[in-house]
Amino acid sequence: MRLDKFLSELNIGTRKQIKEYVKNGRCSVNGTPASKADMHIDENSDEIAFDGVVLSYSKFHYFLLNKPAGVVSATRDGRNETVLDLVAGENVKGLSPCGRLDIDTEGLLLITDDGELIHKLLSPKKHVDKIYEVHIKTPLSEGDINKLEEGVNIGDKKDDGSVDLTLPAKVEVSGRADEDGNPVIFLTIHEGRFHQVKRMLEAVGNEVIFLRRISMGSLKLDDSLPVGEYRSLTDEEVKELKK
């Protein structure tokens, strides 16, 4: 890879700016000041530094965000803070949220520039598990649980006009209540329909009071990660997600 392309992809500057940086001796390759901005480097083995700071190159970037309520799962929004605003300090181009969480929903959100992985995780054919912690207004009956696990009518239609039931889900009753006395369940679904969890609970005569996603596929929400904070995925987490 050319040095100027490498530095440009890390948002060090424009090609024109980088040429000036090299001329002023601000860039080094393996400890030696770079001779030309268009010199070729091995981004995987050479040590590239800018102003004495060693830079690491990664083709893709992966961040686990503990999304807070009040923030929209979008790349841009004219009125509300977006999830990309929360990771703006990374200065990485092309990041997108993998799927969406409602503005009032908290929890796990993968943010990455790996479009192929996003496509795989969101593909309906893959049936990737998504687990939610759901605080509900009233306890579920056995009949309600059976309906949710078999698939419910949330008002969606197929192309032929017939009812499009949700895919079978899994309900785990935690046996505990939150501080306001609302029962807590864990709901596993495999789709990402609009307001799906809320609509599923409404379909059995209930109401969602609080909603948090705690896992997506092999990726789990880090209990030590405060709401509104994020961290990079480990190499192992990325490897597991790509399986």
DSSP 182-208: -EEEEEEES---TTHHHHHHHHTT--E
Please tell me what DSSP assigns to residue 144: H
Residues with Cβ within 8 Å of residue 163, at least 6 apart in sequence? 153, 156, 157
- b/e map 214-226, b = 16+ CB within 10 Å: ebbbebebeeeee
C-alpha–C-alpha distance, residues 200 and 204, integer Å: 7
Nearest to residue 19, comparing CAs of 31, 1, 32, 7? 7
Catalytic residue list contains 102: yes
H or E element, residue 213? strand 208-216
What tokens does 80 get? 């509300």
| Residue in 102, 156, 164, 178 annotated catalytic | 102
What tokens does 130 get? 């998504």
What tokens does 204 get? 């059995």
Nearest to residue 119, comparing CAs of 102, 90, 96? 96
Write out the catalytic residue numbers: 102
